[in-house]
Amino acid sequence: MKKLITFTVNDIGYEVAVAPNRTLTQVLRDDLDLLGTKEGCGVGDCGACTVIMDGKPVNSCLVLAVQADGSTIKTIEGVARDDSLHPVQETFVEMGAIQCGFCTPGMILSATNLLEKNPHPTEQEVRQALSGNLCRCTGYQKIVEAVQEASRRMKG
Amino acid sequence: MLLLPKFDYEEPRSLPEALAMLSELEGNGKVIAGGTDLLVNMKKGTVTPAFLVSLKKVEGLREIAKERGGLAIGSHVTVSEIADSDHVGSAFPVLARAASCLGSPLIRNRATIGGNIVTARPAADLPPALIVLGAEAELKGKDKSRTVPLDGFFKGPGSSVIENGEVLTRIIIPSPPSFTGGDYIKLGHRAALEIAIVAVASRLTLDKPDGVIIDARVILSSVAPTAVHAMSAEKALIGQRPSEELFAKAASLAVGDCSPITDIRGGAEYRRDMVNTLVKRTLLKAFNDARDMKGGNA
Amino acid sequence: MKTYNVINTRLPRVDARAKATGEARYAADLSMPNMLYGAMLQSPLAHARILNIDTTAAKRLPGVKDVVTWKEAGLVKYGVSPARYDEQVFCSDKVRYVGDEVAAVAAVDLETAMEAVSLIKVDYEELPALLDIQSAMAEGAIAIHEAFPGNVSAEVHQEFGNFEEALKECHIVRTDTFTNKRQDGGFLEPQACLARYDFNGNLTLWSSTQSVHYVQRSIAMVLGIPVGKVRVVKPYVGGGFGPKAAVNAMEIVACLMSKRTGKPVKMVFSREQVFLHSRARHQFTHEFTTGVKKDGTIFALRNVCHLDGGAYSSFGIATIYYAGSLLGAPYKLPNMKYDGYRIYTNKPTCGAQRGHGGVAARAGWEQQLDVISAELGMDPVEFRLKNMMKTGDVTCNDFNMSSLGMQECLEGVRDGSNWAAKKGKLPKGKGIGVACGFFVSGAGYPIYRSETFHSTATIRLTEDGGAVNLYTAAAEIGQGSDTILGQIAAEALGVTLDDVRVHSGDTDFGVDLGAYSSRQTLMSGHAVKMAAEETKRQVLEALSEQLSVSVADMDIAGGVIVFKKGKPDFSGLRTLYVKEHRGWEDLPTGADLTFKEAARVAFITRGVIIGNGAYKPGELGGKYKGAAVGTSPAYGCSAQVVEVTVDEETGKVTVDAMTDAHDCGFAINRTNVEGQMQGSLSMGLGEALFEEVRFDEKGRVANPSLGEYRIPTALDMPNVRTIIIESDEPNGPFGAKEVGEGAIMPTIPAILNAIYDAVGVRIDELPITSERLFAAMKEKQKK
């Protein structure tokens, strides 16, 4: 039997009837048309489905939508403010941190969340924070450099 | 898209309601907490519970509180909360270390200490640390309540002493004696997202900083159906003066205390050799920490 | 070197913002009204005869709209090379690997489709499953394909010079073996597609593919639809690396079911299905016998290679050639003998993956060369410098090194890593290693015999002069080709990148063989440059008529017209432009005649301005059998130095530093080139240390997940010091040639050589897991 859940996604309140066996990834993509969250594996191995749930980055493929009742969710679509990109998005774009882009939404969410909690992370801390987000294209270096540069820009 | 099978979902509003529900469901209901193990297995089709019961609304399962000099950790505390907790980090660094090794930051934000225990996976990260700490699990059923030491909690892969209808509510960790130190080392392939090839948790207690070992606990993980004591290593350590030679001897004895298999992650012979290496290394670190910690720290 | 306005820069990618904001749409993101969902029935057995397929129960399930087997799909064979069309959409007589496609369902939702699949009953008669090349090659082994008794899917024998004779002049002769393991592409985006056969009989397929052209042709051929009625469109693609370069059965099936139901059909691979499909790197077993003269001259090589091909051919017929031919450079080698055998086995099919047949061969041979240089008492860098080829040299197998910055690459990594201070001076447990490699910059010939152009491009200026629309069928799969082609167009035409809109990956835009063999920068780039120059010519001709200035005295650069012999009075043209734009506020007022104005003039006087470009390489390569494979208009090359730490008590290898120098001819986008280098190195590191597709005793993939098939995480990959070498390739547009695949070549051997330097142990089998290295060190200690 479907359950009615209420949650906030990217600062917008939603009320959705969902079957218990639907994951947060599915509801975000299929019911809310937020297609920026991807499914790369479905079992928590790759991080492509990362969203911020109640302030913490999680694999949305392993969250039941019903478990998100009452939660605050941020997806990649909620990172930019109005017209302007978040500094992390800016540096990702400028510094070559994006190749195929499939890991990018998850990567950006993990990175922005890190900078909220730790505004001046060391390289090791950046890599640690991104260790659940796999990338096959970049070798991670330009991603790490972009996060560090964003941190510098957000200082001033 | 990897699909979940159909099931019914309940969110009881109190522990008594939850226990009554689980009792009524007999074996057909499973508690879902972080879901990082349960949902993966449901997607693979290896478990198909008809009901999932979430204890989201039940109070008292999400705190880390000081208790009688030690700690009481709610079963629904997430692994990242444990890894980041100052309480845990200062009093029980071996547990904080084990927590920080589990999976990835994304997994740790959902996985719970309770889940890591009740799923009873031979390679689970928290149980070895909890066992060397002498932790106990509070289990509550509809009609009964009991406290079971983690040491002896596990019976085999996926199997523990927990009965149908029982819920793990809290984990109680007693305060460590003075001059106690511990360490947990997990050997994997990559630096993240790994399930251990071999893991070891060790804890040593000295009678005084330059004294003898009065308590030794060495727990081997991923080398037997459950986490096991390296009993001959422990025996060889107690009453002895700590030294690198003693630890090397204990480590080589530990090899005889495990029964590793060859599986997709590693071969039996290699696992035996790594028991040797990891026991030696954890004992060294445990000893160094024990020497320095008058107030007790594991 | 010449300075440019748009190229050789670090311009951000044209599609980066869409990807950074979640706006980019990949195949699984697409949907259409009334869409059906498809699901596939795949064989659970590695080798079995199909006795009967019963779809009645499946067809009866409410919500099911179509169920198809070979009866509906037909029996037209396809594959990659026409010489080896050995695949069918669905198995008819037998299944040849766990995962082989048997049937499919289209239904109103995915759950129903999957339930219907589970209701299809197939009766199998199990056959002996040949799960390794030894069993497949054994006397009396069952034939996996009747046409290939003995299970040899392809066989190559080549000799250049005279190997046996040459050995007589060699002071050192060694034989060593080397084996890698099956890899998986490991791209983050599983294959997905959406097919729509409309009421006019036009079929459109959106698919996560590296080549819309090859997919289009395959679908047309297999389903019997004219090529002109098949349109393949590539949405954003989340990585390809080779496995997505040819059609897959899911694509054909989605098209078939759309045709039959009249509704759009969407199908998506699960991660497990990605592993079952494979078409990724083979397992190579090499035996190298190398002869070197007393003075360190590499003189003779005999290379014997066996490939575990899996159940079908795919790109494998090219792989078995590359496994030999790609050792012909970058060292002078006058005598090379190669015998290669690709063997069918009852496992998922292997194909082409980054670096194709060259990676394992390079790994084993560069390690052997290190052993030899040590025997000679020569520094490994010096040994390589002594033997390397130079620009203008031709290999013994007729590859022409029209540009080759091998020396610059080697010296670059030697100096960049501080080799001299470290080699032989690092503490025990730490090591440093070097290796080199090279790769084609586009396969010299298409995969099907044809005189076709390899790339076409069309540029169409908008009528208001405001934008440049570039149409190409080239595939942007994450490597950055949209940006590179946009930059080439902008540079050649004389505008800025912002003025160019790149439309790509659509068979309606032309012909492009796609993103494989590292070809698009050179080949698609040439076509684009041609189209841009043609467009420029038309604009300048129109201006010439209006201003009475000869075309030769004008140019376009930086968005303005350049008058080489003094500016004429163009006020008349400006007045016309201003008059046509009454009400606009941002009209041109500067001293220069803008491109916008000129393009407007060109439209008014000539009509729509369209420039076309088309590229195919000239006759390439030698006249021997198989000469085609490995030919290319240009070759990229690279050198790498890697530093490792080995934990001697666990066997764990940590790669501490990597220094990589790659000769890409000319960097169209410097950030992009570095990104390709770093990404290649991460795939090489993964293959060296972690990656291995494993099977159980029944031929099932034992680790079909990204948890148990381990690609490097951010904590496993060190920083790479990248050095771009630009040798100015005469056959490349603006001197550019490849970087996408060549960069991976030296990675594995540089790691192997560093490990030897650290702990004195040679590993001849990948991956170098901690267990494998520990066992080798233990073995060494015993001796």
Give the pLDDT mean for C724-753.
Answer: 97
In A28-87, the residues whose Cβ lies within 8 Å of chain C are: 29, 34-46, 48, 75-77, 79-80, 85
The confidence band for B1, taking pLDDT boundaries of 50, 70 and 90, is confident
Residue A128: list chain B partners with CB under 8 A.
105, 192
Contact present, C47 and C106 (Cβ < 8 Å) = no
Smallest CA–CA distance, residue B188 to chain C, in Å, is 9
Q: Coil, strand, or helix at residue C387?
A: helix
Q: pLDDT tens across B137-178, in order? A: 999 999 999 999 999 999 999 999 999 899 999 999 999 999
Name beta bridge partners: B241: none
pTM score, two decimals? 0.97
**Contact call for B270 and C716, based on CB within 8 A:** no
Quote the mean pLDDT of chain C.
97
B-contacting chains (≥3 CB pairs under 8 Å): A, C
pLDDT at B293 over 80: no
Question: If you average pLDDT over every residue of chain B, what do you get?
Answer: 95
Q: What share of chain B is helix, strand, coil (3-state, %, to 5)?
A: 35, 25, 40
**pLDDT score recorded for residue C622:** 81
Residues of B with CB under 8 A from a CB of C: 1-3, 104, 187, 189-193, 195, 197, 264-267, 269-270, 273-274, 277, 281
Report pLDDT for A144: 98
Query: How close does chain B come to C127, measured CA to CA in Å?
Result: 26
Nearest to A56 among B1, B9, B109 (CB): B109
Q: Look at residue C706 and tell me whether its pLDDT is greater than 90.
A: yes
Q: With pLDDT > 70 as the criterion, what percentage of chain C qualifies?
A: 100
Asked if ipTM goes beyond 0.95, one says yes
Chain A residues in contact with B7 (beta carbon < 8 A): 20-21
Partners of residue C483 in chain A, C-beta under 8 Å: none
pLDDT in tens, C214-236: 999 999 999 999 999 999 999 99
Q: What is the reported pLDDT for B296?
A: 55
Instruction: Tell me which residue in C21, C29, C705 faces A89 most closely, judged by beta carbons.
Output: C21
- Residue C224 has what DSSP assignment? T
Query: Is C774 in Cβ contact with B273 (below 8 Å)?
Result: yes
Q: What is the pLDDT of residue C600?
A: 96
Which chains does A contact via 3+ CB–CB distances below 8 A?
B, C
Pairing of strands C610-615, C560-563: unpaired
DSSP state of C12: P
Confidence of residue B12 (pLDDT cuts 50, 70, 90): very high
Task: Enumerate the residues of chain C whose CB falls inside 8 A of the CB of residue B190.
Answer: 690, 710, 712-713, 715-716
- Both tokens of residue C346? 């009852």
User: Taking 60 as the threshold, does the pLDDT of residue C263 lie above it?
Assistant: yes
Chain A positions in Cβ-Cβ contact with residue C271 (cut-off 8 Å):
40-43, 45
Q: Do B264 and C702 touch (CB under 8 A)?
A: yes
**For the residues B60-74, what does the mean pLDDT come to?**
95
pLDDT digits (tens, 9 = 90+) for B75-118: 999 999 999 999 999 999 999 999 999 999 999 999 999 999 99
Please say whether the beta carbons of B275 and B255 come within 8 A: yes
pLDDT in tens, C307-321: 999 999 999 999 999
- Span C394-417, mean pLDDT? 97
Query: Is some CB atom of chain B closer than 8 A to the CB atom of C696?
Result: no
Which chain B residues are Cβ-neighbours of C775 within 8 angstroms? 269-270
DSSP class per residue in C99-141 = T-EEEEEEESSHHHHHHHHHH-EEEEEE-----SHHHHHSTTP
Can you give the pLDDT at residue A156? 60
**A145: confidence class by pLDDT, cuts 50, 70, 90:** very high
Task: Please say if the pLDDT value at position B294 is more than 80.
Answer: no
Residues from chain B that touch A133, judged by Cβ atoms under 8 A, are 106
Cα C152 to chain centroid distance, Å, stands at 25
Do B1 and A42 make contact, defined as CB atoms within 8 angstroms? yes
Q: Do B277 and C110 touch (CB under 8 A)?
A: no
Ordered alpha helix ranges (H), C622-717: 670-689
Chain B residues at the A interface, defined by Cβ less than 8 Å, are 1-9, 11, 32, 34-36, 39-40, 43-44, 52, 54, 56, 80, 103-107, 109-110, 191-193
pLDDT in tens, B193-240: 999 999 999 999 999 989 999 999 999 999 999 999 999 999 999 999
Of the candidates A20, A23, A132, the beta carbon closest to that of B106 is on A132
pLDDT in tens, C501-522: 999 999 999 999 999 999 999 9
Q: What is the pLDDT of residue B297?
A: 57
Phi, psi of B200, deg, nearest 5? -135, 135
- For C608-635, the pLDDT digits (tens) are 999 999 999 988 878 888 888 889 999 9
Q: Does the beta-carbon distance from C715 to B3 stay under 8 Å?
A: no
Q: What is the mean pLDDT of residues C365-387?
A: 98
Question: Strand ranges (DSSP E) for C139-271?
Answer: 152-160, 172-179, 192-197, 203-207, 230-233, 265-268
* Model pLDDT, residue B295: 56
Q: Does C649 touch chain B (CB under 8 A)?
A: yes
pLDDT at C361 over 60: yes
How confident is the model over A72-126, as pLDDT tens digits? 999 999 999 878 999 999 999 999 999 999 999 999 999 999 999 999 999 999 9
DSSP string, B236-298: HHTTSPP-HHHHHHHHHHHGGG-----BTTB-HHHHHHHHHHHHHHHHHHHHHHHHH-TT---
Question: What share of chain C in percent tops pLDDT 90?
Answer: 97
- The string of pLDDT tens digits covering residues C397-407 is 999 999 999 99
A125 in C contact zone (CB under 8 Å): no
Q: Which residues of A touch B8 (CB under 8 A)?
A: 1, 20
Q: What is the rounded distance in angstroms from the CA atom of residue C91 to the CA atom of residue C102?
A: 5
> Can you give the pLDDT at residue B298?
59
Contact B192 C774 (CB under 8 A): no
| Residue C74 phi, psi dihedral angles, 5° rounding | 85, 180
Predicted confidence band of residue C587 (pLDDT cuts 50, 70, 90): very high
Q: Which amino acid, one-letter code, is at C155?
A: E
Give tens-digit pLDDT for A2-32. Answer: 999 999 999 999 999 999 999 999 999 999 9
What does the pLDDT read at residue C1?
58
CA neighbor of C432 nearest in space, from C772, C764, C761, C751: C751
B220: amino acid identity, one letter: L
The residue length of chain B stands at: 298
